[in-house]
Structure formats: structure tokens, C-alpha cells
Amino acid sequence: MLLFLQSCTTSVVVEGTVPTPLVSVIPARMGVYYSDEFRRFKHEEVFRDSGGWHIDLGKQNLRFFQNLTKSLFAEIQEVHQPPLTTEEMRDLDGVFIPSIEKYGFLTPSIMGVEFYSASIEYRVAMYDKVGAKIGDWNIVGYGKSEGGMFSSDDAINEATVQAIRDGGARIAIELIDQPAVQAWLQSRHESYEPSAGPPGVAESIENIERIESIENSETPENVDGPPDA
């Protein structure tokens, strides 16, 4: 019986390319926290028709986000679970925390079409230097792959990789345009330069060094309430 159950479970370790986003850099030095659940995210589900599925997407997802955040922010540093101490926040402007809220997939036998599809709901939260929440956003990534071209495990792998890419694309393009992020960038800009120019436009990457040099001369802030998860 155990052997029978084993044979009805399809295991997929998701693997795929990790493209580097070509987007405007958010001029901030961010700590990035990946929870253990995010790092080792697995999904298990049993369908009456197609049996059990065990999908391990943690490693691919982590690689993808490590590459994404490296391109998205001027500087990044992986940090432990918040709260962070004042000393730990000294060289950081804020903390970025991605998490997976939901993962789901559908097979052709369920959908009645020739495609496998997958979806991932991400939640990304951003906190400023003193631990106040800048904002949090839910982003859903979708992916699908042709059933005919792949075996079922390859097709789920491909659909999941596409879903990660889709979610990542939305984060890469849309995060910088979020009003809360723009307001945060503007407030940081104004705190360094009281006579700053018009709001609403992210500073260019060339400005980062100048901002950092001003920050480094600041007295460290007394932070007792760093980001909470």
C-alpha cells in the first residue's frame, strides 16, 4: 500500500532561468529578509484524478528574488528576522520582506484545456529605517505551459517558473511607482536636501553616492522600533 501511494505522487523540484531585470534602480540600501518558509517553500496537494503532487519551489524562488532585489535596489544586504538593532540598521535605509501567501496549480484534466497553469500570490512589505511600515502589496504571478510538449512534472515546473517570472516582473516594474514608495523616497530626499526638486520622480542612480555620503556624516538615529515581520 505504501509503495502504491508512493507511485501516485509526482515530485517536482522547480528549476529555471533567473533573468536579471532591466529596470530603474530604487535608490535605497535595503536589508532583505527571507523567512525559512520562503526559502524552503513547498506545496503539497492531492487530486482525485492525477494523484499527489509535491512541488518544491523554494530554491528557485529564492534565487530569483536574490537576483531581483540586487537589480531593484541600489544596495542590498540579507538580514535576519526583524527587529534589527540600531547598529544593524546603520547602513540600511529600510527593510524589504517578500513572502508567499498562496501557491496553486491546475492540470489539463482539471481545467479541461491543454495547458498546465500555476499562480503565486506574493506579499511584499517595506519598512523604513526606524521600522515604520512604508507599505505592503499583494502581487499575483501567473504562468502556464503547454501540456503536449512536456511531461506533467516538466509542465508544472515550466508553469511555476513562468508564474515566478510574472510576479517578479510586476514587482520590478510597479514597486517604484507605488505612491507610498514615492513618498518615502521623496521624504528621504527632502531630509537630505531641503530645497529638493519636484516630487514624484525616483532619483537617478547617479544620486545614490551623493545621498550615501550625506548619510554617512549623520549621527546614527536612535532606533528602538526596527521593522517587525
Partner 1 sequence: MAPLMRNLHIALVLLPLLSGCVASRIEESRDSSTGIEPHEAIVLLGRASHNHKETEESFTECIADVLGEGDNPIRVIGQSQFRDNLYPWFEPRTAPTSADELGRLFTEPGVKKRIASVNVRYLAWIDGDTVTIDSGGSMSCTISTFGGGCFGMSYWEEDASYKAAIWDLKTMTSTGQISADANGTSYLAGLIIPIPILARPGNAACKGLANQLREFIVGET
List, in order, residues 6 or more apart from 2 with CB less than 8 Å away.
Answer: none
Among residues 24, 69, 107, 186, the one that binds partner 1 under rule CB under 8 A: 24
Our finding on whether 110 is near partner 1 (CB under 8 A) is no
Our finding on whether 189 is near partner 1 (CB under 8 A) is no
How many helices and strands (H and E) does the chain possess? Answer: 8, 8
Strands across the sheet containing 94-106: 73-78, 26-32, 94-106, 115-128, 133-146
Secondary structure string (H, E, C) spanning 145-205: EECCCCCHHHHHHHHHHHHHHHHHHHHHHHHHHCHHHHHHHHHHHHHHCCCCCCCCCCCCC
- Comparison of 94 and 147: residue with beta carbon closer to partner 1: 147
Left if phi > 0, otherwise alpha if psi is -120 to 50, otherwise beta: which for 179? alpha
Stretch that binds partner 1, among 86-94, 158-166, 180-188, 209-217 (CB under 8 A): 158-166
Our finding on whether 165 is near partner 1 (CB under 8 A) is yes
Our finding on whether 170 is near partner 1 (CB under 8 A) is yes
Our finding on whether 186 is near partner 1 (CB under 8 A) is no
Instruction: Give how many residues touch partner 1 by CB under 8 A.
Output: 24
- Comparison of 84 and 176: residue with beta carbon closer to partner 1: 176
- Comparison of 175 and 223: residue with beta carbon closer to partner 1: 175
Rounded-to-integer distance, Cα 3 and Cα 207, Å: 62
Shortest Å, Cβ 216 to partner 1: 26
Query: Within 13 Å and on the Cβ side, how many CA atoms surround 121?
Result: 7
Q: Cβ(67)–Cβ(22) under 8 Å? A: no
Our finding on whether 23 is near partner 1 (CB under 8 A) is yes
Rounded-to-integer distance, Cα 171 and Cα 189, Å: 22
Among residues 4, 22, 48, 87, the one that binds partner 1 under rule CB under 8 A: 22
Our finding on whether 43 is near partner 1 (CB under 8 A) is no
Our finding on whether 166 is near partner 1 (CB under 8 A) is yes
Our finding on whether 192 is near partner 1 (CB under 8 A) is no
Q: Which residues bind partner 1 (CB under 8 A)?
A: 17, 19-24, 111, 113-115, 142, 144, 146, 148-149, 162, 165-166, 168-170, 172-173
